């Protein structure tokens, strides 16, 4: 075994940040990030349903209780209002809680704590009680789960003043965005795309990004995942991977598509959005959440505001439907699929003024 | 691969133990979720326990006639590392399929 590998394993054991590049699943990347956050800040606590002994139903907190003890990584009762209410008190007492709501739809019982306390305590206290809480929420659909296990709550959270909202699209983003979110003085809703948990990808641990390449680690703003000339697909979470597939297929037809991973859903990176669509002059927004009052409407308006004079067509939205998220195989009809996205692209390409 | 241990659950209200009558699976068997694993008898009734999950049986605890306390290991499964949690299934990564083709006259003005 080479010294480099020995050093890498030593780094793993004490939770210090890594260097270099590794192939990891999003689960492993998130686990690594949490490990390093726990090691780096003794005020960090992780808790939620099954987060401790079991290591989380998606294995995200696997091994962390054994390593950091039941005082820092622990199980809670099945009561989301309690999980988030306790987070408020811990944040007031100077801790940095990283609570987990086990599934998106389980956040509803804690809406009061999230909206009325976490989001506005800093405002209410004139800055004397910041809420440095990173709320992890396994989000969106795609795993054939029952009701309350496939919902997209980004528009709800983004609408609440005081909250920041972010969603990673791959293991690299997951690692860096979670590490960054856990250092913020503000509450961050961290929406993990559960259908991408098992997908492996390259994680570049080096935080510096001198080349400005898209594998870099800058954790703020949106990110161009593929450059193109004719149209911009705007997406976040699990839909980024699907949009990259669509871009590959569109290239077979001679259409050159840019894919913009929005990453931060509150605040939205208007400059990156506008820069991309000013170049391509056409845009389609893709999300899993229902159409009406979905975040796609906000994105479309920001594009219209920033690019009205150069847009060649109205911004198209390809989304879920205005129904409760369906269980089982029906989700294939609900989540935007490749053909629905291609149809949306075709409508935009065909549009002519007047 | 990971091992998951399934302890004997409380089969009634406040029962503290059960007696193994007959194992319906053996180490090495691949079992499906809800497949009957073992017949046990409590002070209330004899019941078949369904499997809480799919996986390969690694170990079983207790033979016919043996008493097992609630909360003690009953059976151990081996499951692949990339299995889903308690809820849902791991999505299959498939090559993208399409029916729609794009056609456009792109005026580069």
Q: What's chain A's average pLDDT?
A: 92
Best of B81, B88, B106 to disrupt the A interface by mutation (most A CBs within 10 Å)? B88
Q: Which domains does chain A have, with CATH numbers?
A: 23-204 (3.40.50.970), 223-350 (3.40.50.920)
**Is A144's Cβ below 8 Å from some Cβ in B?**
yes
Q: What's the rounded mean pLDDT across residues A227-254? A: 97
Residues B25-75 have pLDDT tens digits of 999 999 988 899 999 998 888 999 999 888 899 999 999 999 999 989 999
**Which of these, B17, B46, B23, lies nearest to B36 by C-alpha position?**
B23
Asked if residue B66 is part of any domain, the answer here is: yes
**Is A249's Cβ below 8 Å from some Cβ in B?**
yes
Q: How far is B109 from chain A (nearest CA, A)?
A: 10
Q: How far is B79 from chain A (nearest CA, A)?
A: 13
Write out the residue range of the structural domain in which residue B28 sits.
Answer: 2-79
Best of B79, B80, B104 to disrupt the A interface by mutation (most A CBs within 10 Å)? B104
Best of B87, B107, B109 to disrupt the A interface by mutation (most A CBs within 10 Å)? B87
More confident residue, A191 or A209: A191
Is A303 a residue whose pLDDT tops 70?
A: yes
Q: What's the rounded mean pLDDT across residues A237-259? A: 97
In this prediction, residue A214 carries a pLDDT of 45
Residues 303-342 of A with CB under 8 A from B: 338-339, 342
Written as one string, the DSSP assignment of B22-45 is EES--TT-EE-TT-EEEEEE-SS-
Searching chain A, which residue's CA lies closest to the CA of residue B80? Answer: A198
Range in A2-6, A290-294, A341-345, B25-29 the model is least confident about: A2-6
Instruction: Please give the radius of gyration of chain A, using alpha carbons only, rounded to the nearest integer.
Output: 20
Contact between chains at A199 and B93 (C-beta distance less than 8 A)? yes
Tell me the C-alpha distance between B45 and B66, whole Å.
16
Q: How far is A86 from chain B (nearest CA, A)?
A: 25
Spell out where chain B has E strands. 2-7, 17-23, 30-31, 36-41, 46-50, 55-60, 67-69, 73-79
Q: What is the DSSP letter of A277?
A: H
Contact between chains at A338 and B96 (C-beta distance less than 8 A)? yes
Contact between chains at B102 and A349 (C-beta distance less than 8 A)? yes
Is A2 a residue whose pLDDT tops 70?
A: no
More confident residue, B1 or A303: A303
- Under the banding of pLDDT at 50, 70 and 90, the label for residue A8 is very low
> What residues of A act catalytically?
149
Cα distance from N-terminal residue to C-terminal residue, chain B: 57
Burial of B11 (0-12, 13-18, 19+ CB in 10 A): middle
More confident residue, A255 or A8: A255
Strand partners, B55: B31
Is A297 a residue whose pLDDT tops 90?
A: yes
Asked if residue B85 is part of any domain, the answer here is: no
Domain total for chain B?
Answer: 1
- Under the banding of pLDDT at 50, 70 and 90, the label for residue A309 is very high
Cβ(A221)–Cβ(A263) under 8 Å?
A: yes
Which positions ≥6 away from A92 have C-beta within 8 Å?
A: A121, A129
**CATH at residue B6:** 2.40.50.100
Residues A26-85 have pLDDT tens digits of 999 999 999 999 999 999 999 999 999 989 999 999 999 999 999 999 999 999 999 999
**Which of these, A229, A230, A259, lies nearest to A246 by C-alpha position?**
A259
Searching chain B, which residue's CA lies closest to the CA of residue A26? Answer: B82
Asked if residue B100 is part of any domain, the answer here is: no
Of B85, B98, B100, the CB nearest to A58: B85
Residues A14-35 have pLDDT tens digits of 566 667 889 999 999 999 999 9
Written as one string, the DSSP assignment of A132-149 is --EEEEEES--S---TTS
Tell me the C-alpha distance between A42 and A25, whole Å.
26
Range in A147-151, B89-93, B99-103 the model is least confident about: B89-93
Q: What's chain B's average pLDDT?
A: 86
Give chain B positions within 8 Å (CB) of A230: 104, 106
Asked if residue B104 is part of any domain, the answer here is: no
In this prediction, residue A22 carries a pLDDT of 92
Is A7 a residue whose pLDDT tops 50?
A: no
Asked if residue B86 is part of any domain, the answer here is: no
Searching chain B, which residue's CA lies closest to the CA of residue A238? Answer: B91
Pairing of strands A316-320, A283-290: parallel
Residues recorded for chain B: 109
Name the interface residues of B facing A (CB cutoff 8 Å).
82, 84-91, 93, 96-104, 106
- Under the banding of pLDDT at 50, 70 and 90, the label for residue A173 is very high
In this prediction, residue A210 carries a pLDDT of 37
In this prediction, residue A38 carries a pLDDT of 97
Of B87, B97, B103, the CB nearest to A57: B87
Per cent of chain A over pLDDT 70 is 92
Give chain B positions within 8 Å (CB) of A145: 87-88
Cβ(A281)–Cβ(A232) under 8 Å?
A: no
Give chain A positions within 8 Å (CB) of B100: 338-339, 342-343, 346
Q: How far is A37 from chain B (nearest CA, A)?
A: 24
Q: At A184, is the secondary structure helix, strand, or coil?
A: coil
In this prediction, residue A212 carries a pLDDT of 42
Q: What's the rounded mean pLDDT across residues A92-104? A: 97
Q: What's the rounded mean pLDDT across residues A113-125? A: 97
In this prediction, residue A329 carries a pLDDT of 87
């Amino acid at each position: 075994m080479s010294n480099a590998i020995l050093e890498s394993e030593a780094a793993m054991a004490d939770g210090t940040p890594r260097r270099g590049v590794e192939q990891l699943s999003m689960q492993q990347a998130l686990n690594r990030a949490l490990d390093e956050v726990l090691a780096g800040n003794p005020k960090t606590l992780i808790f939620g349903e099954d987060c401790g002994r079991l290591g989380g139903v998606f294995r995200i907190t696997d091994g962390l209780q054994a390593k950091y003890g039941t005082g820092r990584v622990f199980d809670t009762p099945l009561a989301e209002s309690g999980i988030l209410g306790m987070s408020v008190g811990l944040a007031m007492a100077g801790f940095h809680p990283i609570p987990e709501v086990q599934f998106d739809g389980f956040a509803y019982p804690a809406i009061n704590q999230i909206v009325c306390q976490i989001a506005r305590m800093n405002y209410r206290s004139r800055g004397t009680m910041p809420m440095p809480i990173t709320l992890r929420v396994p989000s969106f659909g795609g795993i054939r789960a029952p009701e309350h296990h496939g919902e997209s709550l980004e528009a709800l959270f983004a609408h609440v003043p005081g909250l920041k909202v972010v969603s990673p699209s791959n293991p690299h983003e997951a690692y860096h965005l979670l590490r960054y979110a856990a250092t913020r003085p503000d509450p961050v809703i961290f929406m993990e795309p559960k259908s991408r948990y098992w997908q492996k990808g390259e994680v570049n641990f080096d935080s510096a990004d001198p080349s400005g390449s898209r594998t870099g680690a800058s954790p703020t703003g949106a990110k161009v995942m593929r450059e193109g000339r004719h149209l911009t697909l705007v997406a976040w979470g699990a839909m980024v991977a699907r949009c990259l597939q669509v871009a590959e297929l569109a290239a077979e037809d001679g259409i050159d598509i840019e894919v913009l991973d929005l990453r931060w859903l509150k605040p939205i990176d208007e400059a990156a959005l506008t820069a991309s669509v000013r170049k391509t002059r056409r845009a389609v927004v893709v999300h899993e959440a229902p159409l009406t009052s979905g975040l796609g409407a906000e994105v479309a308006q920001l594009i219209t505001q920033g690019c009205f004079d150069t847009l060649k067509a109205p911004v198209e939205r390809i989304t879920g439907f205005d129904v409760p998220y369906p269980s089982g195989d029906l989700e294939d009809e609900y989540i935007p699929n490749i053909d629905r996205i291609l149809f949306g692209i075709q409508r935009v390409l065909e549009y002519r003024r007047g | 691969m990971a091992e998951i241990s399934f302890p004997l659950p409380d089969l009634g209200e406040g029962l503290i133990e059960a007696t193994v009558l007959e194992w319906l699976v053996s180490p090495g068997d691949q079992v499906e979720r809800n497949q009957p694993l073992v017949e046990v008898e409590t002070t209330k009734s004899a019941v078949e326990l369904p499997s809480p999950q799919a996986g390969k049986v690694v170990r079983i605890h207790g033979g016919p006639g043996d008493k097992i306390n609630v909360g003690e290991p009953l059976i151990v499964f081996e499951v692949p590392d990339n299995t889903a949690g308690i809820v849902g299934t791991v999505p299959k990564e498939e090559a993208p399929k399409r029916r729609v083709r794009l056609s456009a006259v792109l005026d580069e003005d």
